[in-house]
Copies of this chain bind each other. A is one copy, B any other.
Amino acid sequence: MRVLGIDPGLTRCGVGVVEGMPGRQGKLIGYTVVRSDPDEDISQRLLHLDHSLAELVEAYRPESVAVERVFAQHNAQSVMGTAQASGIAILAGARAGLPVQTYTPSEVKAAVTGSGTADKAQVTAMVTRLLKLAAPPKPADAADAIAIAICHIWRGGTRARIEAAARRSLR
């Protein structure tokens, strides 16, 4: 399956596309970072992100979208922008009719490094190794997005199915 991973952000939003199957070597299809100028109006920044993600979904034609979940731990001001960007990211998948799954940062780190507390350098190193890349993805912001896509592939989209079943059984 082909997954488009998104590490949401307003100034820098990482996007990585990986093709693979659980337990098999994955293949990096492409990656990029969508940027917007902090001096721009928030509405123009969100619009730019929306357009860019729609174009990327259209260009890469993924079967599903995986987005990193945002937490309100620290730096409250910037986290609001990140949360708004994550709303746009989730919407980009939903509007294309694709299943969208979110993962916590620890889930993503654990999936690629085996440890939920791994640092950025470890994640980049493992992404490079797992996909047998000649060099680490640059800019580094994209490595997280690629890791999110890998995380989704390795979990085989199972969690989305389990959660959907759980929701149905509660009705």
Residues of B within 8 A of A164 (CB): 41
Interface size grouping (class) on chain A: 35 or more
Cβ-based interface call for A83 (8 A)? yes
For residues 98 through 151 of chain A, which have their beta carbon under 8 Å from a beta carbon of chain B?
A: 99-100, 102
B47 touches A95 (CB 8 A): yes
**Cα–Cα distance between A44 and B90 once the two chains are bound (Å):** 9
- 1/0 per position for A145-171, CB-CB distance to B under 8 A? 000000000000000000110010011
User: Is A63 interfacial (CB-CB < 8 Å)?
Assistant: no
A32 at the interface (CB under 8 A from B): no
Interface of A is mostly: helix
In angstroms, Cα B91 to Cα A43, docked, is 6
The listed residue with most B CB atoms (<10 A of its CB), out of A40, A87, A91, A171, is A87
- By a CB distance below 8 angstroms, the chain B residues around A163 are 41
| B-chain residues with CB within 8 Å of residue A44 when the two chains form the complex | 94
CA separation between A28 and B1, bound complex, in Å?
51
Contacts of A79 in B (CB 8 A): 72, 83
Chain B positions within 8 Å of A40 at CB level = 167
In the bound complex, do residue A50 and residue B84 qualify as a contact, i.e. CB atoms below 8 Å apart?
no
List chain B residues, Cβ under 8 A from A43.
90-91, 93-94, 99-100
Q: In the bound complex, do residue A76 and residue B84 qualify as a contact, i.e. CB atoms below 8 Å apart?
A: no
> Does A33 belong to the interface (CB within 8 Å)?
no
Q: Find chain B residues with CB under 8 A from A72 CB.
A: 72, 76-77, 79-80
Determine the residue in chain B with the shortest Cβ distance to A50: B91
